[in-house]
Structure 1
Amino acid sequence: MNRHFSIICIGILLLLLCGHTFAHKASDSYLRFKVGDGIIQGQWDIALRDLDYAIGLDSNGDGRITWGELRARHHAVTEYVFSRLKVRSIDARCWHQAPEHLVDHHTDGAYAVLRFAMTCPDATNTFEVAYDLLFDLDPLHRGLLQVDHDGQIQTGVLSPEQRKIRVDFENPAPWREFLQFGKEGVWHIWIGFDHILFLISLLLPAVLCWQTGRWLPQHSLRLALWEVLKIVTAFTIAHSITLCLAVLGFVSLPSRWVESVIAASVLVAALHNLYPIIHTRLWIMTFFFGLIHGLGFASVLIDLGLPGQSLAIALAGFNLGVEAGQVVIVGIFVPLAFLLRRTRFYQRYMLNFGSVLIAVIAFIWLMERSMALDFGLWA
């Protein structure tokens, strides 16, 4: 029974690690509408790396997309993206005019910017947006929508599960936006494998105690849960602080620097399980690195550029979603770890081998992010 249970648990761990190893990095596009007088003024920001993956932009294959290469594919870009965006008023479909092509930089790289207008006589207060960009190529892709109508803002998140959003300024429902961004927060941490591996690296020794130069099983469930609570609380408070500060514009650091330090935090946490230095106050290290992880969470909302009340709704929903996703991970992992803590399997394979494997993956991420390399291990 114990052997089979152990095999199942290590299988879950390996699936988690391997699933991330071959996963594509999640992508977002940013779609902004300004509605007035039967015309929708639009701006659509799409990552150049996503367009290159979808239709090919890098004609000479040197790994860099120049303005000349993008300009040569303007017509192809227009055809591709607008075949995957439909806006419909009550009675008829809206038609777009030829877009203006620009380039801008977001926190995660260069984006093609398409500015356009849509003729939509009946789309004054109510219309529907149907979005299907990249879903066939990247199921992790999200379209982040912002609609401005005479200063009133509505937002939404388009995904493979929700490809249509009804915009209704006559009957606004802020709770829907809250739930959408809450769901996005849950999804964001579940696909944020660097955040997950950091948390698991910290939780692996939480059901053990360091005595006589080695890890021994924790005898008390109460003490184990207390250790878990301190770690999770420190991580939650820390990343919530910097998430809010970054989204509100008080803190801004280069994305490459932030992502590199996040990778380093995973590496340090995994190596600490093998050569522990901090034996009783692991929450201090957790809090310090949690501040950096919060900056990583913030990029989605920063690039959306929401004002006022919409920002507060999105930030609250997103942050609570992140916490809910984190609670699910902890709730699944900790009971299994506590049941297995006395087994040789847990200490040799889950703690030691698992930490080595996490450290190797984190080291590769660190090299990729800090030196702009690509080993094909997306994170």
Structure 2
Amino acid sequence: MPNRPAILRWLAACLTGLGAWLMMAAPAAAHEVRPAYLEVIETAPGTYDVTWKQPVLDGRRLKIDPVFPEACAREGEYVASPGGTLVQRWTTHCDLSQGEIRIDGLERTLTDAFVRIDRLEGDDIGAVLRPAAPVLDLTVPTGAPVATYFRIGVEHIIFGWDHLLFVLGMVLLVRPQQLLLTLTAFTVAHSITLAAATLGGITLPGPPVEITIAMSIALLGAEAMHRIKGWNTLSQRIPWAIAFGFGLIHGFGFAGALAEIGLPKGAEAMALLLFNVGVEAGQILFVSVLLALAFVVHRLAQKAMLPARAVLAYFIGFMGSYWAIERIAGAFFGI
């Protein structure tokens, strides 16, 4: 027979450590899993318009920069910083049918870089440069990296703390018999707005979307506590409707990630589908881990279940409120 007091102490220590780690990591990690993007479009023979986008983490740009062949000087360069992205644009006149493009500093990061080169003649190039392989050979034609969008989708949900906490809140709020329908409603809703935004051009301003996502997380934390206290609320009676409504907003949040890198030319629908499937795979993986942990805790230390649920509910509510205040301050006061 296991030593239950020792197990309870161990679980409490794990929860405390996990909570402290999440509180330090989550604010910086929310919605920051985004690749860099380099777009090179030939507008006249030997003349290219270049756009370089890279994520900004905690107000600091990553020390990565595209390096073109030596003859490709930058002309008319200007820089903008919309939201959490650094955007640089310039024109260059050179021969990009030979040589290589390198993302300097990429090997010191965990970031991927999408590269798209549209030529007036010859094969276009679409590639993903990674820290282990940050160089693109311009003499080797490559197709659009459609399959990579699946991995981007998985990473966006697994490392996107705001979306993970929303899913965790739903798991805490709903009863087991409601879980499948509730998660399905959330999936269907964000799939609708993700497709509408990326393929149909239907968009919402980024700051209100991010603020609403944060508020939805805070609401779920509060509702999860209401369930623990035995209060019967609307969210508990029809959680699928709540999940569907907020899922529509979260879909615009997912679309924001795709907007940073765009969709590969000629394969937009397939790339979007793979991204969405990746998001769902990450979500299923996360929920499966949660249910497995809940089963183990229930079997070994059932008395720890209620305190653990309360700690998680308060943490979800706290983080949702923190993100909402942070995003409101950033949107309206530039803080």
TM-score where L is the length of structure 1 = 0.71
- Equivalent residues of 2:150, 2:274 under 8 A apart: yes
Query: Displaced runs of 4+ in structure 1, greater than 6 A?
Result: none
SS at structure 1 position matched to 2:295: helix
Contact 1:178–1:316, Cα closer than 8 Å, also in 2: no
Moved more, 148-157 or 319-328: 148-157
Q: 1:325 to 1:272 in 2, by over 3 A?
A: same
2:280 maps to 1:331:
no
Match of 1:32 among 39, 49, 52: 39
Query: Which residue, out of 277, 280, 298, partners 1:320?
Result: 277
Matched residue pairs, number? 317
Deviations 1:58-95 (A, max 9, x none): xxxxxxxxxxxxxxxxxxxxxx86xx4345xxxxx553
Q: CA RMSD in A?
A: 3.5
Mapped contact 1:154–1:310 kept (Cα < 8 A): no
Identical pairs, percent? 26
Q: What corresponds to 2:188 in structure 1?
A: 237
> Which of residues 322, 325, 331 is equivalent to 1:367?
325
**Distance in 1 between the 2:20 and 2:28 partners?**
12
Cα gap change, 1:121 to 1:230, in 2 (>3 Å): closer
Name the CA shift for 1:169/1:245 in 2 (closer, same or farther; >3 Å).
Answer: farther
1:236 to partner: Cα distance = 1.3
2:258 equivalent among 287, 301, 317: 301
Alpha-carbon distance in 1 for matches of 2:58, 2:163: 27
Q: Which ranges of structure 1 fall in alignment gaps of 5 or more residues?
A: 56-79, 88-92, 210-223, 375-379
Output the CA distance in 2 between the equivalents of 1:168 and 1:318.
29
The CA deviation string for residues 30-80 of structure 1, in whole angstroms up to 9 with x for no partner, is 31113588836241334695697359xxxxxxxxxxxxxxxxxxxxxxxx8
Deviation at 1:346, TM superposition (A): 1.4
Shift of 1:259: 0.2
Q: Indicate the residue corresponding to 2:230 in structure 1.
A: none
State the 1:304 CA deviation: 3.4
SS at match of 2:208: helix
User: 1:318 Cα deviation (Å)?
Assistant: 1.4
| 1:288 partnered with 2:245 | yes
State the TM-score, normalized to the length of structure 2.
0.79
* Aligned counterpart, 1:20: 26
| Structure 1 contact 246–302 (Cα < 8 Å) conserved | no
Alignment of 1:1-379 (within 5 A): 1=2, 3=7, 6-7=11-12, 10=15, 11-12=17-18, 15-23=21-29, 25-26=32-33, 28-35=35-42, 39=46, 41-46=48-53, 53-54=60-61, 84-87=65-68, 93=69, 95-104=71-80, 106=82, 108=83, 111-117=86-92, 119-120=94-95, 122-123=97-98, 128-133=100-105, 136=108, 139=109, 141-150=111-120, 153-165=124-136, 170=141, 172-174=142-144, 177-206=145-174, 209=175, 224=176, 226-276=177-227, 277=233, 278-306=235-263, 308-341=265-298, 343-348=302-307, 350-372=308-330
